[in-house]
Chain A
């Protein structure tokens, strides 16, 4: 039956070495291009999963003593980059809607860093993401998504508007472009290395 090839696996393949998995978040307002960016750099077409968040997992147990049974479903788009035999990188597009905010903490746990996609048509939609990563002290970069090459502001103006610290990189980018996406991720990981003790400061 369909299991044949599986059962014929060599005996030595009993327990393949399991790689380490790491993740980077891609955040931003609704329609900022999160899934587009994930798809541009992922080795697989972006997958969609959903997490059912229950009252218990949300830790809601203290609403005036009244037990609340709350359940909601959060959809996530993600992609994968096989770094090498030992490391797999996942890119998670985080829900842009404010009402999914409670999901972010679980998403952010253990993440290497985050890309905040800024949509210059609605720059304020990325403010919550910037606040979140800034407060967590997590490495993050601002990628200004230039829709059709149209960006009314310079990177300096965006930086000034967002009022982010000097350690936060601000890049002009294009979520559809693979090379631009790679550049955003490289910039982020370089920042993470710098923040992580500077051993990688002499990388280039």
Chain B
């Protein structure tokens, strides 16, 4: 595999990452006696650790490449009436959603809203709704925003990302994996 626009190269963007390319000249080393070595990462300036490895130039690259079909990128929004942003729901891809009511007037629902309500009789994540309905997550977030604002769906957002995971959660995950 080649990296025509590998992150290591993107990081040479002056504003985002001044560090040089991390793995120059390492391709084609298959069969060598020693594995290719990763160049040691230059220390980041204080406070820069959380900075996303993106820059405007890097982000624009996929579009500039022109290798994406355009059709599927636009059509999903027809089911949202052209809306591409959920209304302040703060939904994350692992936000869990669950139907809030036991009595639903299905005749009043758009088909996509009804599909979502059927899926979330038990708590499911936004990503699962997206996968099961074969709709992009962005679209699902918009539709879920409708349902949440009408009180048809409850949600629990993931814990705040800025805080370290709670120890009891980590311990529960550890125990859960061990029991698999």
Contact = CB atoms under 8 A, between A and B. Distances in A.
Interface string A1-25: 1110011011101111011111100
Interface in B52-104: 52-54, 56-63, 65, 68, 72-74, 76, 84-85, 92-96, 98-104
A197 B166 CA distance: 10
B98 A87 contact: no
Interface size classification for chain B: 35 or more
Nearest to B72: A73
Contact of B154 (A15, A107, A161): A15
Given A22-B165, A153-B35, A163-B38, A102 B170 contact: no
**Which of A10, A51, A104, A130 neighbours the largest number of chain B CB atoms within 10 Å of its CB?**
A51
A70 B174 contact: no
A189 B173 contact: yes
Interface string A101-138: 11011110110100000001111110110111011110
Given A7-B103, A130-B38, A163-B40, A189 B49 contact: no
B170 A112 contact: yes
A123 B35 contact: yes
A92 B128 CA distance: 12
Contacts, number: 284
Nearest to B133: A49
A110 B159 contact: yes
B172 A52 contact: no
B63 A47 contact: no
B6 A128 contact: yes
B158 A52 contact: no
B177 A81 contact: yes
B37 interface: yes
Contact of A109 (B7, B72, B98, B161): B161
Given A52-B138, A58-B59, A127-B23, A135 B1 contact: no
A153 B29 CA distance: 13
B49 A47 contact: no
Contact of A122 (B1, B7, B167, B175): B1
Contacts of B177: 41, 81, 83, 89, 182, 185-186, 189
Interface residues of A, number: 103
A56 to B, nearest CB: 8
A30 to B, nearest CB: 5
18 contacts: A3-B106, A9-B121, A18-B123, A52-B136, A57-B138, A59-B56, A72-B68, A81-B176, A81-B180, A83-B172, A83-B175, A92-B93, A96-B1, A102-B58, A104-B53, A120-B35, A157-B34, A193-B171
Closest 5 A-B residue pairs measured CB to CB?
A83-B176, A105-B52, A110-B161, A70-B63, A47-B131
Interface of B: 1, 3-8, 10, 22-23, 26-27, 29-30, 34-41, 44, 49-50, 52-54, 56-63, 65, 68, 72-74, 76, 84-85, 92-96, 98-104, 106, 118, 121-123, 125, 127-128, 130-132, 136-139, 154-156, 158-161, 164-165, 167, 169-178, 180
Interface of A: 1-3, 6-7, 9-11, 13-16, 18-23, 29-31, 41, 47-52, 54, 56-60, 62-63, 68, 70-73, 76, 78, 80-84, 86-90, 92, 96, 98-102, 104-107, 109-110, 112, 120-125, 127-128, 130-132, 134-137, 152-153, 157-158, 160-163, 178, 182, 185-186, 189-190, 192-193, 196-197, 199-200, 203
